[in-house]
Amino acid sequence: MEACASAHYWAREIAALGHDTRLIPPAYVKPFVKRQKNDMADAEAICEAAQRPTMRFVQGKSAEAQASAVVFRTRDILVRQRTQLINALRGHLTEFGYVVRQGVGHVGKLVEIVGDPTSDIPAEARPVLVVIAQGLQALQAQIALLDREIAARAKADPVAQRLMTVPGIGPVIATALVALAPAASTFRRGRDFAAWLGLVPQQHSSGGKERLGRTTKMGERSLRRLLILGASSATKVAARDPDKASWWLAGMLARKPRMLVTVALANKMARIVWALMAHDGSYRAPAAAA
Domain count, the chain: 3
Do 145 and 210 belong to one domain? no
- Residue where a domain terminates, one of 156, 177, 197: 156
Range of the domain at 46: 7-50
Q: Does one domain contain both 35 and 104?
A: no
Give the dihedral sign, CA 110/115/119/122: positive
| pLDDT at residue 285 tops 80 | no
pLDDT of residue 173: 92
Both 175 and 151 in one domain: the answer is: no
Same domain, 97 and 208: no
E-strand stretches of the chain? 201-203, 212-215
Note the pLDDT of residue 275. 92
Are 39 and 67 within one domain?
A: no
Average pLDDT over residues 208-214: 85
Model confidence pTM above 0.85: no
Q: What share of the chain has pLDDT > 90, as a percent?
A: 51
**Average pLDDT of 102-129?**
89
**Main-chain dihedrals φ then ψ at residue 98, nearest 5 degrees:** -105, 115
Same domain? For 166 and 274 the reply is yes
Q: Report how far residue 109's alpha carbon sits from residue 111's, in angstroms, rounded to the nearest whole number.
A: 5
**In whole angstroms, what separates CA 88 from the centre of its chain?**
25
Residues 268 and 256 both lie in one domain? yes
Residue 105 has pLDDT above 70, yes or no: yes
pLDDT score for 284: 81
